Amino acid sequence: MSKDIKVIAEIGINHKGSSEVARGLIDSASRAGAWGVKFQYRRKDNFYKQVTEIGDEMISAEMERTYLSPSVISALREYAQVSRLHVGISFFNPADRTDFGDNLKEFDFYKVPSAELLNDDLIRSLKEQGKLVLVSTGGHDEKQIFGQVNRYAECKNVVFMHCISNYPILLGNQQLGFISKLKDVSPNPVGYSSHDQDWEVNLIAMSLGAEYIERHLTFDKRGDGLDDSTSSEPAEFAVLCKIAAAYKNIIANEERIVNQGERINMQNLGSSLYAARSILRGEIAEIDDFEVRAPRKGLVASEFLSLPSRIATLDICAGDAVLASHFAAPVSPISNQTVQFCDKNDISIPIRLHDAKKLQALFPINNYELHLSYGEVQNYLDSSASFLDCIDLRKAYSIHLPDYMPGNRLIDPLSQNVTNRHDSISLIRACVRLAKELEDVSGKEVPIVGSFSRLLPEGKETTYRELARFLCDVRDEEGIDILPQWLPKIAWYFGGAEALDMFCGEDDIDYVLKHELNICLDVSHLILSANFAKQDWKMWYGKLIGVTKHIHLADASGIDGEGVEFGSGALSDANDILSMPPRVVLEVWQGHLADGEGFRKAIEYLGGMQ
């Protein structure tokens, strides 16, 4: 299993001797998501005996120009640690450590540069601090490197870094295959100290097992500093950190698992069999009775031909997608005992207009949630009577706003685009009208749930404040509650994965509470978003349950395994959730397919837990 990759921003001498520039680089490293930052220090009068060669003169002059005192570096360390960065420092001489006095122990790690790989006095003096010591190996052959690896094999805090001491390294001369050798002989993690002009080389180093990546950070790769040309600018460095942070998930599964986004795409982009003629129950269907059409809502030809029986057990109308259930034993409604369990716990299932009658017959419970498309809302506006005729008006409902609007747009009532804002508000107002009509007919409260994922340019504070104001206005004017639902950090939008910024992070909890927003707590989304943040979802649940007025319940795994079967994810016990007052909607992924097979399994699982 791959371990977390830690990216270190080597500030080195790229601060040009300026504390302010150094602070700016620290800020850039923090925003990029770096694990740490590193400085270097050498007291000139402790090091150079004489400056006679051209190279010596150049390096000496650069050290003079970029010198920062121990007190300044210590202040920068404190500044970086406030941003939760690990802070390290490299020395070239054991004596230089004494310039930091007691402040030396405040650093989180230390670095031995390639030129001092064989300086055992320096390595020993640093490892005795009891913290991580990184040792670069550039400029030395295998015998020398392996000798040092073996010498410090018992030291769990010493990590050797593959490095080529060229500035920059010619592309093709990285010798990254040596990382594998280093891993084979070292009992500890290994790393890569990059002097590449092409930052992408670091991605290959990661793939070969480097767990520490050290990369110089600068504001100008074309600058006049000795390290500028082998550095990354902030935008480039941020991409490196982004990929490193996701690396474990990128390579995690050796087993090929189809994700939800792929399933959606296979349905939308694929084709399946549709009845070319009406087929009556009891008839034997042949492949010629069907035609291939999009989208893929039913069986493909190979699946139909593999059915154990081709005798229709249900009538199939011309134009219907062909399902396995058309040739299986008819499914019976859930038992009275199961209905009582659902109603006792206020359990609801999502239904769509096209399958409402069938699912309500198979699941004759009290509560349902209407999951509407933009087109269905338009149908309601065109003919509310025919719309309402599709559902049992004696039951209780909630409404899930459509996520999408025509033109590949997400619903966004705060959008700065006038058309998008107008269309979004019109769509929401139509759903409010439907909710009020359902309340009038059924005499039961009809809450509305929506996904509000778009962030205003002004930032989160403004977005949450304006959203709270909009929802409050709707409630005051119409008497209908619209509940923003908690979202995953990674959402399946438009057939792909998109990182969201609203209702999905620990800071969002603070905004929700500050602006007194009542929410729909989607437990599956909560698990995914907490996993992304590497936090305990139960802690977040404890903070949010007090403002929760509606619950979507499903299991989840990883950062994008939404709505997996109960028992296969992180939700070990749902009894506490079921005991809460809000209505609980079962959000098993595509639970409506095959006559609600997913819902049936979910209810059986939850019932078995009590």
406 and 306 co-located in one domain? no
CATH number of the domain encompassing residue 212: 3.20.20.70
Give me the pLDDT at residue 313, please.
95
Number of domains in the chain: 3
306 and 425 co-located in one domain? no
| DSSP sequence for 115-128 | GGTT-HHHHHHHHT
- The whole-chain average pLDDT of the chain stands at 92
Give me the pLDDT at residue 2, please.
60
The predicted model scores a pTM of 0.74
Average of per-residue pLDDT across 424-450: 95
CA dist 44 → 12, 49, 439 (Å): 15, 9, 81
271 and 216 co-located in one domain? no
| pLDDT greater than 80 at residue 50 | no
Please, are residues 293 and 274 in contact by the beta-carbon 8 Å criterion? yes
- 496 vs 262: CA distance, rounded Å: 8
318 and 451 co-located in one domain? no
Average of per-residue pLDDT across 231-258: 88
Amino acid (one-letter) located at 427: L
Give me the pLDDT at residue 54, please.
42
Query: In the structure encoding, which two tokens stand for residue 217, read together?
Result: 């950070």
Give me the pLDDT at residue 51, please.
47
Q: 416-434 pLDDT, tens per residue?
A: 999 999 999 999 999 999 9
Give me the pLDDT at residue 227, please.
76
| pLDDT greater than 60 at residue 515 | yes
Q: Decide if 1 is inside a domain.
A: no
Q: Decide if 170 is inside a domain.
A: yes
Average of per-residue pLDDT across 182-206: 95
Average of per-residue pLDDT across 435-449: 94
Helix (H) or strand (E) holding 192: strand 190-194
275 and 365 co-located in one domain? no
Amino acid (one-letter) located at 285: A
- 318 vs 403: CA distance, rounded Å: 31
For the beta carbon of residue 43, count every other beta carbon within 10 angstroms.
17
193 closest CA partner among 325, 274, 88: 88
Average of per-residue pLDDT across 380-402: 92
Give me the pLDDT at residue 257, please.
75
Q: Could you tell me the pLDDT band of residue 339, with boundaries at 50, 70 and 90?
A: very high
Tell the burial category of 314 from Cβ atoms under 10 Å away from its Cβ (0-12, 13-18, 19+). Answer: middle
Q: 318-337 pLDDT, tens per residue?
A: 999 999 989 999 889 999 99
Q: 122-149 pLDDT, tens per residue?
A: 999 999 999 999 999 999 999 999 999 9
> What stretches of 289-366 adopt beta strand conformation (E)?
290-293, 347-351
Lowest mean pLDDT among 59-73, 173-187, 379-393: 59-73
DSSP three-state, residue 254: coil
Q: Decide if 399 is inside a domain.
A: yes
Q: On the CB side of 604, how many CA atoms lie within 13 Å of its CA?
A: 9
> What stretches of 81-131 adopt beta strand conformation (E)?
86-91, 109-112
Q: Decide if 530 is inside a domain.
A: yes
For the beta carbon of residue 120, count every other beta carbon within 10 angstroms.
13
Please, are residues 384 and 416 in contact by the beta-carbon 8 Å criterion? no
- 44 vs 36: CA distance, rounded Å: 26
Q: What is the 3-state secondary structure (H, E, C) of 410-474?
A: ECCCCCCCHHHHHHHHHHHHHHHHHHHHHHHHHCCCCCEEECCCCCCCCCHHHHHHHHHHHHHHH
| pLDDT greater than 50 at residue 458 | yes
281 and 423 co-located in one domain? no
The answer to whether the bond into 168 is cis (omega within 30° of 0) is yes
- 217 vs 8: CA distance, rounded Å: 9
Q: Could you tell me the pLDDT band of residue 610, with boundaries at 50, 70 and 90?
A: low
Q: Last residue of a domain, which of 327, 350, 365?
A: 327
Average of per-residue pLDDT across 67-84: 93
Query: In the structure encoding, which two tokens stand for residue 408, read together?
Result: 């590949």
Give me the pLDDT at residue 52, please.
45
Specify the higher pLDDT residue, 256 or 273. Answer: 273
Backbone φ, ψ for residue 169 (5° rounding): -85, 135
Q: On the CB side of 343, how many CA atoms lie within 13 Å of its CA?
A: 13
- 115 vs 113: CA distance, rounded Å: 5
303 and 389 co-located in one domain? no
CATH number of the domain encompassing residue 290: 3.90.1210.10
Q: Decide if 567 is inside a domain.
A: yes
Specify the higher pLDDT residue, 86 or 221. Answer: 86
Average of per-residue pLDDT across 335-354: 95
Q: Decide if 273 is inside a domain.
A: yes
Give me the pLDDT at residue 189, please.
95
Backbone φ, ψ for residue 558 (5° rounding): 65, -145
Give me the pLDDT at residue 609, please.
66
Q: 553-607 pLDDT, tens per residue?
A: 999 998 888 888 899 999 988 988 998 888 999 999 888 888 899 999 999 999 8
- 449 vs 583: CA distance, rounded Å: 12
152 and 120 co-located in one domain? yes
Query: In the structure encoding, which two tokens stand for residue 475, read together?
Result: 């409630």
Q: Could you tell me the pLDDT band of residue 57, with boundaries at 50, 70 and 90?
A: low
Give me the pLDDT at residue 1, please.
47
Q: Last residue of a domain, which of 327, 350, 376?
A: 327
| pLDDT greater than 70 at residue 63 | no
Q: Decide if 251 is inside a domain.
A: no
50 and 95 co-located in one domain? yes
199 and 286 co-located in one domain? no
Q: Decide if 250 is inside a domain.
A: no
Helix (H) or strand (E) holding 522: strand 519-522
156 and 225 co-located in one domain? yes
Which residue range(s) make up the domain with 365? 336-609
DSSP tag of 233 = -
CATH number of the domain encompassing residue 564: 3.20.20.150
**Torsion on CA atoms 207, 208, 211, 216, rounded to nearest 10:** -80
Average of per-residue pLDDT across 380-394: 89
| pLDDT greater than 60 at residue 53 | no
539 and 582 co-located in one domain? yes
- 268 vs 286: CA distance, rounded Å: 25
Q: Last residue of a domain, which of 244, 277, 300?
A: 244
438 closest CA partner among 478, 411, 378: 478
Please, are residues 549 and 447 in contact by the beta-carbon 8 Å criterion? yes
